[in-house]
Structure 1
Amino acid sequence: MASVSSSAADTLDPAKGAINTDYVRHYMIYSGLTQFDSNLSPQLGLAEAIESGDRKVWRIRLRKNVQFHDGSTLTSEDVVYSLLRHKDPATASKVKSVADQIQTVSAVGHYEVEVRLEQPNADLPAILATSHFLIVRNGARDFRSANGCGPYRCRVFNPGVRTIGVRNENYWKSGRPYLDEIELIGIPDEVSRVNALLSADVHLINAVNARSIRRIERSARHRVLETKSGLYTDLIMRQDRAPTSNPDFTAAMRSLVDRELIRKALFRGRATLANDHPIAPSNPYYLPGLPQRAYDPDHAKFLLKRAGLLNVRLPVYASPAAEGSVDMASILQESAASIGMHLAVNRVPSDGYWSNHWMRHPLTFGNINPRPTADLLFSLFFKSDAVWNESGWKNDQFDQLLFAARGEADEAKRKQMYGDMQVLVHQGGGVGIPVFISLLDAYDRRLQGFGAIPIGGLMGYSFAENVWWAG
């Protein structure tokens, strides 16, 4: 399987997963307390039961006789350690801002755990299904190798080169996984990735460009799977640096984004218009009726003149690592030039983009994978102290609404709160989100059982335990 990215930053630590190759690797090796179905509803995994009367105190009963790859048995102590390590700053967990809502985690016997939250949150079962919260062995700190209780044991891990997983004969799901071995590699260039598929060098790829669909479908041996999703590539305007912190500049750049052109030309219609906030129309908390921001170069010119920034030369960093960002940057550059603004597009390689460029310049692009809940999206990318707060945007009202929505029992009020948060991000969140991109995977027809789980491509990153080979 060839993914869009692989680098020296590849990790076997679920807490540090940052790209889709990491997520696939982690779902291969580890298991979670819950897991997503095709409707993004959390189903039981290592948890045999997960219950709460007030959505603040949760009781989790574990399956018995589940083994880690080293032969040790899963117990409540492993779960306690796995959840609490996200709260420790030394772990450098990518979801620390989410885990901060966990007040305590304690073992109640050998196979039962109590999770107490700072305040009620009905989304805890969905949170626990995400890859970062997969369960590791109690005390695990050295992730140069891996010890999970997932469907595959890690035989080879060479960051930036490849990962090889071999079938776990003692997997807790009877009869699974079906394949003997899976090799993960990274091929950053999309054309090269498609060529590798069509020449049978690989059997499954992700992040297919819509322009490649016809070419792949002309092959009798291959298929393309489209999954509607909340994936987006966004223009990041740092709110803690000049000149992008100027509100007029941020508003002007959003008015220069030609969303319809991006939807049709870049994604061949395999995308849905977005409105500068991260909640897709398929999300139950999506706010209908928010006026769609229009492409308006004249208004952008007025705002830039008022800010004294019309003639400023500003670099924008784009990379194939952020899907569509290079073409988006070119379209934005042309729109800017039409009003006398000078944008210099710096195309940088995929390798190292996320560690060396993303969020490190006033103007960059991000590429945000779908998340199962509105709370997770907002907590990970817009909460003031979130590690992945791309634009450095800080808004006390937003943070207060985020906390309040988690514990709101009245569903109508909760929906209103999420709507208010969408308005705040739309107005000043420091990002421009033009479209929600359909996930496009391509695969060899002999690979059976492959389907859609809209948390991400590659069957929500969990294809490994679900597919089989019909050679």
Structure 2
Amino acid sequence: MRNTPTNWTGRDDAMVENAIRRGASRRELLKMLMGSGVALSMGSGLLLRAGEAVAATPVSGGNLKAAGWSASTADTLDPAKASLSTDYTRCCAFYNRLTFLDENGDVQMELAETVESDDARTWQVKLRSGVTFHSGKTLSSADVVYSLKRHLDESVGSKANSIAKQMAEIEAVDDLTVKIVLSEPNADLPTILSLHHFMIIADGVTDFSTADGTGAFICESFEPGVRSIAVKNPNYFKEQGPYLDSFEYFAISDNNARVNAVLSGDIQFAAAVNPRSLRMLEGQSHVETSITTGGNYTNLNIRLDLEPGAKAGFIEGMKYLVNREAIQKSVLRGLAEIGNDQPVSPVDRYHNPELKPRPYDPEKARSLFEKAGVLGQAIPIVTSDAATSAIDMAMVVQQAGAEIGMPFDVQRVPSDGYWSNYWLKEPVHFGNINPRPTPDILFSLLYASDAPWNESQYKSEKFDKMMVEARGLLDEEKRTAIYWEMQEMVANEAGTIIPAYISNVDALSTRLKGLRPNPLGGQMGYAFAEYVWLEG
């Protein structure tokens, strides 16, 4: 019998790992181990350990093809105007922020070395030295001042204008220091600076047909609504990454087509697949799923300033007609938590657990529709595959309406152009909101009177004042109390129905490694290209 050595060393572990990386078969590996005097039983354990180590060790090289679910001819490389997941993903690849959020939701520094304040109102940002743009220009405070001030220029059309307005002063102290003075104290500023819109661009740039950033990838080509090709930045300032040689990104709006593309190997990553597709993925040894729960949701929006939302009782009736449990269990296959019509999800520390969702009560809904004078009228509901599971949700509402004599005309429209042509515009339509790290950001973007994405045109002077008050409070108890009340106001007064907080499901090749959850949304908060690698 062959003797089993007791001094199997880390050097030998490395030998096995290297053999695995070179593509050695299991038979070849076992033969190698037995030739070194290792018993078969021990060899299997060594192979498992080495395999796990290889899987956890980034590998450089390879070309990744990935598909999102939404795109349009309005796709942009201007971070200030970014609004779709495809925009965010590209911006994360080409640019950097001053800060970013890690998988635990903690603020980490990126282009900034420090972001500090003594009073939460006057902040000093110290920049990293030696960072260069793809064009070769060296990063300086002038770039940061220009990037942040663009959000205050109404002509730019920044999606973060309502958030940036609190920056009353933005000025360069020296080449690597920026001072930001807020109109009111806000302890969340380091988190706010981690948002996708606050990517740093070069001073004076106005042409976004390509991207000149400091990011992990250089833009080789960009066709709005079609695709982008990015190549590795050889001068990236971070010690590690990116690992991929190139990164091609585009959208496949049809869910089944997106899933089939990853099953066939045409792509290595399919973002945000419908929970119904899990059956297609089961038993496929070369494909796996990544399921993360954040604050993503698909909502039914009813504009308060248009008919039928302007009729007293209609919106409340809709909130009783939406069968949240059916949506959670049947439409989303259990991959969701029931929502209570406000955007702060249960994973957020400021979520109000005492605010209960309205129960499914079709008879109460019928009474309210009758009161509103709309019972029996065919009400259009605009829906699309562009918003996750929105078509299935619309069918649930339509079926419930039919049972009480309230017909709904479900109008399915194409994904292409949905966000520019229908979202925010139609009287009754669906939206899809990506996670945001603080209640203040959610409220500023979606519910303040001047919010850029005010989906139901909700306007409340009281709400606006509470939002400003809460953002400046360092007393967590008082801040929480205000946020709880604001959630109640949204749930009871706004025209947005949020039936569930959805778990994000991505489908990926088992060769793709390094994917982790992030509080800013799926695809690692849309920054996955910088951190993942292809094995084998």
How far apart are the structure 2 equivalents of 1:183 and 1:217?
Answer: 26
| 1:228-307 equivalence runs, <5 A | 228-307=293-372
TM-score between the two structures when normalised by the length of structure 2:
0.87
1:149 to 209, 214, 222: 214
Q: CA deviation at 1:448?
A: 1.4
Correspondences of 1:165-204 after superposition (within 5 Å): 165-204=230-269
Alignment CA distance shift 1:273-1:244 (3 Å) = same
Contact 1:227 1:454 in 2 (8 A): no
Match of 1:366 in 2: 431
Pick aligned residue for 1:12 from 70, 74, 77: 77
Aligned residue pairs total 471
Matches within 5 A, 1:64-79: 64-79=129-144
Match of 2:503 among 420, 429, 438: 438
Q: Tell me the residue number matched to 1:405.
A: 470
The amino acid across from 1:393 in the alignment is Y
Q: Report what 2:408 is aligned to.
A: 343
User: 2:93 pairs with 10, 21, 28, which one?
Assistant: 28
Asked if residue 95 in structure 1 is aligned to residue 141 in structure 2, the reply is no
Q: Measure the CA separation in 2 of the matches of 1:289 and 1:14.
A: 37
Contact persistence 2:341–2:357 (CA under 8 A)? no
TM-score (norm 1): 0.99
**Is contact 1:217-1:224 (8 Å) kept?**
no
1:321 matched to 2:382: no
| 1:347 partner letter | R
For 2:318 and 2:276, how far apart are their aligned partners in 1? Answer: 27
Question: What's the offset of the Cα at 1:148?
Answer: 0.2
1:282 Cα offset (Å): 1.2
| Residues 213-251 of structure 1: per-residue CA shift (max 9 Å, x gap) | 232231111110100111111110001112212230010
Question: 2:478 aligns to what SS in structure 1?
Answer: helix
- The structural deviation recorded for 1:308 is 1.0
1:175, CA displacement in angstroms?
Answer: 3.3
Q: Which residue number in structure 2 is paired with residue 218 of structure 1?
A: 283
Q: CA deviation at 1:46?
A: 0.3
What do the CA deviations read for 1:373-423 (whole angstroms, capped 9, x no partner)?
Answer: 111011100011111001111011111110000001211000000001001
Separation in 1 of the partners of 2:241 and 2:267?
22
The 1-side partners of 2:448 and 2:162 are apart by 8
Deviations 1:442-464 (A, max 9, x none): 11111111111131111110101
Separation in 2, partners of 1:162, 1:390: 28
Moved over 3 A (4+): none
Unaligned runs of 5+ in 1: none
Report the Cα distance in structure 2 between the residues aligned to 1:46 and 1:412, rounded to whole angstroms.
Answer: 33
More moved, 287-296 vs 458-467: 287-296
CA distance in 2, matches of 1:319, 1:411: 40
Counterpart residue number, 2:446: 381
CA distance, structure 2, for counterparts of residue 304 and residue 333 of structure 1: 14
CA displacement, residues 303-338 of structure 1 (integer Å, 9 cap, x when unaligned) = 111111112221110000011111111110111111
Supply the distance in 2 between the matched residues of 1:140 and 1:245 (Cα, whole angstroms).
Answer: 43
Q: Secondary structure, in 3 states, of the residue corresponding to 1:140?
A: coil
Could you say what the CA RMSD is over the residues aligned between the two structures, in angstroms? 0.8
Q: Distance in 2 between matches of 1:6 and 1:137?
A: 26
Report if the CA contact (8 A) 2:449-2:460 is conserved.
yes
Which deviates more, 452-461 or 366-375? Answer: 452-461
2:295 alignment partner, SS class: strand
Q: Rg bigger for which structure?
A: 2
Which letter does structure 1 place at the counterpart of 2:379? L
The alignment partner of 1:298 has SS state of: helix
Instruction: Quote the sequence identity (%).
Output: 47
Alignment partners' CA distance in 1, 2:113 and 2:356: 45
Q: State the alpha-carbon separation in 2 of the partners of residues 292 and 28 from structure 1.
A: 38
1:250-281 per-residue CA deviation (whole Å, 9 max, x = no partner) reads: 10001000000000001110000000111111
Q: 1:422 and 1:60 mapped to 2: Cα distance? A: 32
Q: Indicate yes or no: 2:512 matched with 1:447.
A: yes
Q: Aligned equivalents of 2:70 and 2:355: distance in 1? A: 35
Contact 2:378 2:408 in 1 (8 A): yes
Selected match of 2:172 from 107, 112, 121: 107
